[in-house]
Amino acid sequence: MVRKVRQRWRRDRSSPQPSLDALAAYDERSDRLRLVEAVGPTKEVSEENRRYILRLLKITLLVCIVGMRFAIPLGSFPIPLPLVATYVFVVLARLRGGVRYNRVRTELFIASAALIVLATYLSQFFGNSISLNSVLLLLILWMPWVFCISIQFRDLFVPLARFYTRIMLVAAVVGVFQLGSQYAGVWVYQDYLLKFVPENLLIQDYNVSYELAWNDPTTKANAFVFLEPSFLCQYLALALVIALLIRAPAWQPALLGIGMASTLSGTGIILLVVAVGLMVVVAPNRIRPAYVLAGAVGLAIVFATPAANILLDRRDETSQQGSSGYIRFVQPYTEVSAGLSDNPTRLFVGAGPGSADRLLTSFRSGGDAVVYTIAPKLAFEYGLVAMVVFVAFLMVSVYRGPPIPVLPTAMLFMIFFLSGSLLQAHTVALAWLLTSLWGPPVTVGVSDALAAVMRRDRDQVPVA
């Protein structure tokens, strides 16, 4: 009753002004990443707590990558291991003050979740068939995105980025061995996980062993632990971009690039081209001469192998119906557009959770294995309104994430266009650990601003 309530929300011109990017400034002239916080004094943490949080981060990241093929059976609804690892991290880190919730993201998530639930109810009311497992998995998967790392631990991003690069260097070596030994005739591809691990503990319905053609038994590299060669290629491309940004030794980007070639997949190459092109514009000093030389050597090695012709043959896939590029970049949008126009009510409430694979042309219904990425899948299943709010929540989370350029845009490009990641636990967890988690833990949201406006209007009402 007696506490003074702030009514002026604009900073006086005579007061010290914060820098334009004070919460996460990136010094392009420096050889390393630096964090600059324009906040009040933070709580001191012990070195033991810092080591504990860093260990938690590394273990969670390792489980999300190496354990992406594993699941915990729960009846007919297996729980992906990366999803379990994410929630275990949030609980353990929260007990040590390692994570805090972000008010703005929480409000956006609640708004999008409410619209998704409302769209699901209305869709069922209109007689559409819905999948409750689909909508529940959607909400559970993305709920950890309301949490951010505490300010005291934000400098741990660089060690985690280096650790991710090391993991993918090992995966690149394994991938090169897989493809090279097959071409050399010294090893025949075998899925050792499928051979020694019970089937009910593995995620199903992915092309783990992807042969080049019906008459060519050569199998694309997946480092044994990746669900598809395309996932390995994308993760390697992301690691290569991070290696450039944190100024890793030149041999690391070269090895990561050779590992990408061993997957014989084009999605990671697209991601790399987009990220490097953006880096040339916004962070050109990250590209050292040693990286250019290493890239030239890596390309020379790749072009000296049979993999070069296979990769070059995929240049015009986006214009070929039925090809991997066409069903990833073109067909999802044309089919969703046609599906929405068939029934105008779908524009507002969607066709129901899980309906994209059931009603549209997809592999499950005898058609092409179309990859329905985040935007088209949300629009068709929950309507355009819910899609816009959820995408806003996602973009705010990613762009208000790590104190590093290029990486947020590269991650958004990956999850929006290259993988059907709306319900893929491993991709959602990786995007959170490398981008969204590192945003500033904002504790003032839209509700606080509205409350301040209401208090101001109430205090200005004249007393009779």
Residue 245 lies in a domain: yes
**Separation CA 102–CA 285 (nearest Å):** 33
CA-to-CA separations, 126 to 234, 256, 329, 382, 387, in angstroms, rounded: 40, 50, 31, 13, 19
The band of 267, judged by pLDDT with boundaries at 50, 70 and 90, is confident
**Separation CA 79–CA 82 (nearest Å):** 9
Identify the pLDDT of residue 92: 96
Total domain count, the chain: 2
Instruction: Give pLDDT tens digits for 155-207.
Output: 999 999 999 999 999 999 999 999 999 988 899 999 999 899 998 899 988 88
**Separation CA 78–CA 92 (nearest Å):** 23
Residue 92 lies in a domain: no
Identify the pLDDT of residue 65: 97
- Domain carrying residue 250: 159-315
Give the Cα-Cα-Cα angle 217, 208, 334 (nearest 5 degrees).
105
**Separation CA 361–CA 334 (nearest Å):** 11
Do 193 and 295 belong together in one domain? yes
Do 138 and 182 belong together in one domain? no
Identify the pLDDT of residue 301: 76
Residue 67 lies in a domain: no
Residues 6 or more apart whose Cβ sits within 8 Å of residue 347: 340, 383, 384
Residue 375 lies in a domain: yes
Average pLDDT over the chain, rounded to an integer? 83
Residue 259 lies in a domain: yes
Residue 307 lies in a domain: yes
Instruction: Give pLDDT tens digits for 63-98.
Output: 999 999 999 988 777 899 999 999 999 999 999 999
Residues found in the chain: 464
- Backbone phi, then psi, for 418, in 5-degree steps? -100, -20
pLDDT tops 50 at residue 40: no
Do 184 and 250 belong together in one domain? yes
Do 323 and 309 belong together in one domain? no
CA-to-CA separations, 426 to 62, 66, 207, in angstroms, rounded: 11, 10, 16
Instruction: Give pLDDT tens digits for 176-188.
Output: 999 999 988 899 9
Identify the pLDDT of residue 286: 86
Percent of the chain with pLDDT over 90: 50
DSSP conformational letter for 462: P
Do 135 and 256 belong together in one domain? no
**Separation CA 390–CA 206 (nearest Å):** 26
Residue 72 lies in a domain: no
CB-side neighbour CA atoms (13 Å) of 446: 8
Give the residue-averaged pLDDT of 118-145.
92
Task: Name residue, tokens 């490398």.
Answer: 434
Do 263 and 193 belong together in one domain? yes
